[in-house]
Amino acid sequence: MSRFRIDSLARLLRGDYAAEADDVALADGDATPKRFAIGGVVLALAIAAGVMLSDANWLECALLAVVAILALTIALLLKRHQWYHEALAAERRQLRTAVDNIPQGLVLYDASATIVVCNRPYVEMFGLSPDVAKQGCTMQRLIEHRKETGSFDGDVEAFCAAIIHNVRLGQGTRQLTEAPGGRAIEIVNKPLKSGGWVATIEDITARKRAEEKIAHLAHYDALTDLPNRALFREKLEVALKELGPGEQLAVLYIDIDEFKSINDALGHPVGDELLKEVAERLRGCIGEADVAARLGGDEFAIIQNCTGGRAETERLVEALYAAIRQPLECAGHLISTDASIGIAMAPGDGVHLDQLLKNADLALYGAKGDGRRTYRFFEQDMGARARARRTLELELRQAIGEGGFEVHYQPLVDLRDDRISGCEALLRWRHPQRGNISPAEFIPVAEESGLIVEIGKWVLERACMDAVALYRQTGTWLSMAVNVSARQLRDKDFIGIVERTLLATGMPPERLELELTESMLMEDMDGAIDFMHKVRALGVRLSIDDFGTGYSSLAYLQTFPINHLKIDRSFVRLLPTSGTTIAGAVIALAHGFNLTVVAEGVEEPEQFDWLRQAGCDYVQGYLFARPLPLAALRARMLDERAPVA
């Protein structure tokens, strides 16, 4: 037994167990600690056996005990070492997984410009081979590989030398490059204290596109994609600076007439489609060197580099009107549009940006003041006229609040018995300082400002109240004709206003007649037809005013549910020496559609006689009476119905 103990100890000292353990450890990491543990246990058993047999001396037992303790200690140390390396390997795997899953590419270089770490996103971002882009590869070889694969097209040596130079100076760099597929890549190199550096590579394509979109939106209108007001001003400022001797440019301010009414009546989607279509038509009219912009709402502008001067600008205006006035279909609605245009020329009307824009705006204001649907070049007295119009608008508002308006009534004579059968309500304004102001002066201002809606509502209520009062005082119902503006036609609440007015005043619906103009109806035929059917459903009658001055289409006479046609005074004025063919045709045409005919502006007996013979149904004009206040109309009716002595 003693010999067994000595042989075992010799083997351990010679390293037989250790060698065997090392060999096994190469194949199995758990073998070495196990071998030492087993050896320690064997020695411990040998010591115990020797003690039990009492044939061992104390020195051998002590030596064996020491060896057993060492074996167990080594086993524990080896196991701890193994645990450490396993933990380290796990951390490395986790770190590698994390590095490979960050969205940015990452390359860590040491002080010799050799790769320490290169993650998978970097390899994939540039389409590189993982056999090249890996630990131990030099920076120059990596960039050469990028050039071979098409993601780098510069000078490899110069590129690498510049980055290494900056790193040694402790300076970071930031570069923007393009990867395959047009992707934008940002590379940031940050020096490290060790002498190496870390390069982060990020695909910023989405961010760059978002930034470009934001920049685009800052300078372009989101709806029409035309330059906005800010970019328009920038381009005009540049154009003015570049304007050479003898050269001219024009600024055109364009306002779409009655757009707000269309928007309110048909809804914002239709309004948006209309604006986009107008923008496309403007683009189609201008030259390559010109600029079209949307300033906001229904306001557009054009910069025209016109070497031909005013004549060239007038040709552009003609092209603009030809394009804008073409009917267009928006969301199932056929809409006719028009525009007011104001024009200022540089350098004649100003060489400074704000001055030129102000004068173009004044010219636009002048075009609106002249009835819209027209254009005006800037004139020096336009500023004074604009101030006068603004003053008039303020006074109109004051007159509404203070009850400064009156309604006069122009009699309508029935040619069957030459008696008054109706009248037309006409607005009058007696200004406290200026006296009577012509409707031709203040109605356009009321239309432009939108005050016409409130004024029109008041006229409707007043006319119905007066018609009921006349009936009570004379015992005779008159038909009451009230003019309707384009803004009222598109007011969503207008039908409700008419209905409430009839109920509140006691006016029979069949005694009320609403007068509409041809041009107003043709702006939106579908909307106009819908409006007229709703009016007729109330029992209210309809007439077309100023017939013959607009479209005069047979098609709409068949489509529109109207009751009367009014021959415009411009045709009546020619009678009977000329104009008889047109007037006779209108009368015959109306009767063919079962419509009655009213001739307005009759001032001469010869006109009256011809109209009677031609079969006209009603006439009105100064030959019979001027527009009368209510009291005068009542007196006229009472006189007319008084028994003849």
Are residues 15 and 71 both part of a single domain? yes
Secondary structure (3-state) at 628: strand
The domain boundary residue, chosen from 81, 100, 119: 100
d(CA 490, CA 527): 8
pLDDT score at 46: 59
Are residues 194 and 243 both part of a single domain? no
The conformation of residue 288, written as its DSSP 8-state character, comes to: T
Amino acid 47 reads I
Nearest to 525 by CA among 536, 516, 514: 516
d(CA 326, CA 122): 57
pLDDT score at 240: 92
- Tens-digit pLDDT profile for residues 527-581: 788 889 999 999 999 998 877 665 555 666 777 889 999 988 888 998 988 888 8
Secondary structure (3-state) at 639: helix
Q: Average per-residue pLDDT in the chain?
A: 83
pLDDT category at 391 given cuts 50, 70, 90 is confident
The domain boundary residue, chosen from 158, 181, 208: 208
Burial of 213 (0-12, 13-18, 19+ CB in 10 A): exposed
Query: Where in the sequence is the domain holding 428, given as residue range(s)?
Result: 396-641
Flag whether 522 is in a domain: yes
pLDDT category at 125 given cuts 50, 70, 90 is confident
- The strand pair at 564-567 and 596-600 is best described as parallel
Q: Is the pLDDT of residue 16 over 60?
A: no
Please state, for a pLDDT cut of 70, what percent of the chain lies above it. Answer: 84
Q: Within 10 A of 180 (CB to CB), how many other CB atoms are there?
A: 11
pLDDT score at 310: 87
Are residues 249 and 364 both part of a single domain? yes
- Tens-digit pLDDT profile for residues 291-338: 999 999 899 999 998 767 888 999 999 999 999 998 888 777 778 888
| 284/385: higher pLDDT | 284
Peptide bond into 576 cis (omega under 30): yes
Are residues 299 and 311 both part of a single domain? yes
Are residues 400 and 522 both part of a single domain? yes
pLDDT category at 100 given cuts 50, 70, 90 is low
Flag whether 254 is in a domain: yes
Q: Within 10 A of 350 (CB to CB), how many other CB atoms are there?
A: 19
| 88/178: higher pLDDT | 178
Please state, for a pLDDT cut of 90, what percent of the chain lies above it. Answer: 42
Flag whether 419 is in a domain: yes
Are residues 369 and 273 both part of a single domain? yes
Secondary structure (3-state) at 449: helix
466-474, long-range: CB < 8 A, 24+ apart: 466/407, 466/409, 466/425, 466/630, 467/505, 467/507, 467/511, 467/512, 468/505, 468/506, 468/507, 469/630, 470/630, 470/633, 470/634, 470/637, 473/634, 473/638, 474/634, 474/637, 474/638, 474/641
d(CA 422, CA 408): 13
Flag whether 599 is in a domain: yes
d(CA 484, CA 489): 7
Q: Within 10 A of 389 (CB to CB), how many other CB atoms are there?
A: 20
Q: What is the DSSP string of 330-347?
A: ETTEEE---EEEEEEEET
The conformation of residue 513, written as its DSSP 8-state character, comes to: E
Are residues 447 and 537 both part of a single domain? yes
Q: Is the pLDDT of residue 497 over 90?
A: yes
pLDDT score at 13: 32
Are residues 203 and 224 both part of a single domain? no
The count of structural domains within the chain is 4
Q: What CATH number did the domain enclosing 338 receive?
A: 3.30.70.270
Residue 171 makes CB contacts below 8 A (sequence gap 6+) with 191
**Backbone torsion region of residue 155, taken as left when φ is above 0, otherwise alpha when ψ lies between -120 and 50, otherwise beta:** beta
Average pLDDT over residues 440-468: 91
Are residues 325 and 229 both part of a single domain? yes
Q: Is the pLDDT of residue 613 over 90?
A: yes
Tokens 């969205």 correspond to 103
Give, rounded to a whole angstrom, the gap between the first and last alpha carbons of the chain: 171
Q: What is the DSSP string of 349-408?
A: T-SSHHHHHHHHHHHHHHHHHTTSSSEEE--TTHHHHHHHHHHHHHHHHHHHHHT-EEEE
Q: What CATH number did the domain enclosing 514 receive?
A: 3.20.20.450
Q: Is the pLDDT of residue 36 over 80?
A: no
pLDDT score at 277: 92
Lowest-confidence region among 136-150, 187-201, 522-536: 522-536
Are residues 136 and 76 both part of a single domain? no
Are residues 366 and 500 both part of a single domain? no
Q: Which residues pair with 177 in a beta bridge?
A: 185
Are residues 142 and 66 both part of a single domain? no
d(CA 602, CA 579): 14
Contact 93, 147 (CB under 8 A): no
Q: What CATH number did the domain enclosing 108 receive?
A: 3.30.450.20
Flag whether 386 is in a domain: no
Flag whether 477 is in a domain: yes
Contact 409, 423 (CB under 8 A): yes
